[in-house]
Amino acid sequence: METLHLAEPGASVSVWALFWQAGLIVKLVMIGLLAASVWTWAIIIDKVISYNRMRAALNRFEQVFWSGQSLEQLYQSLNEKKTAGMGSIFVAAMREWKKSFEKGAKSPLALQTRIDKAMDLALTREMEGLEGRLGFLATVGSAAPFIGLFGTVVGIMTSFQAIAGAQSTNLAVVAPGIAEALLATAIGLLAAIPAVIAYNKLSADVSKIGTRMEGFADEFSAILSRQIDEKVVTRMAA
């Protein structure tokens, strides 16, 4: 059980002093919320940087893809590299295309289905990477205020018990204990507000990037479908 105490009149009410005057439970709540806030900002900075890189990679790939370069040349240039975004989808589709024709694919419909599945899997992996750790932001945004409120309730209960034991309601004595309890709620909000804002913004960014990649997958599927039809017609003519 926490030691019941009352602050002396004129006691320091700085944030640092309030933290050290707080009880063990309230301190643990504050430390946990501060750690969550630091990790939240680390995720936010990392995601902003990675999303900017992804958008730049998508722009570069689209510029090269629609420049008129042959699909075979583009595949050879990307196959040995670490690709991301549209590049991963393109390589997955071309790899399945080449494997199927090397093994003598006979069913155009089955080939198209396999290519579409390969692109879907590549798209899913890319989206999982983009969405990774966003759930932590959502959890902090929803739970941090309540965790802070828990610390506040515990702190106020301890202060009221100390007030009852000392039989003193002097505001100068009561105020520091109440302030240190309310500090837990303030830290909870400090962690939650950026997490909520960042989660909404980053989720919207992921959705836009995902839409671009899905659009490319559909366009490339149509391109390969036409090439499959051309190969089928050539075989029939032969």
Quick check: is 40 in a domain?
Answer: no
Radius of gyration of the chain, Cα coordinates, nearest whole angstrom: 29
Question: Which range is most confident: 22-31, 68-77, 215-224?
Answer: 215-224
Q: Which of 7-11, 97-101, 164-168, 220-224 has the highest mean pLDDT?
A: 220-224
Number of domains in the chain: 1
* Domain annotation covers residue 138: yes
User: What residues make up the domain containing 139?
Assistant: 55-148+196-237
Average pLDDT over residues 73-89: 91
Question: Which of 42, 17, 20, 26 has its CA nearest to residue 184?
Answer: 26
Residue 166 falls inside a structural domain? no
Q: Is the Cα dihedral 157, 159, 160, 162 positive or negative?
A: positive
Evaluate whether residue 99 is within a structural domain: yes
- Asked whether 91 and 83 are in contact (CB, 8 A), the reply is yes
pLDDT range class, residue 1, cuts 50, 70, 90? very low
Is 67 a member of any domain? Answer: yes
Range list of H helices, the chain: 15-21, 24-65, 71-79, 86-102, 108-131, 134-166, 171-237
The H or E element containing residue 1 is none
In a domain, 164, yes or no: no
User: Quick check: 3 pLDDT over 70?
Assistant: no
The verdict on residue 98 lying in a domain is yes
Convert the pLDDT of each residue in 180-202 to its tens digit.
Answer: 889 999 999 999 999 999 999 99
Residue 106 has pLDDT above 80, yes or no: no
Give the mean pLDDT of the chain: 86
pLDDT reading at 4 higher than 50? no
Residue 27 counted as domain residue? no
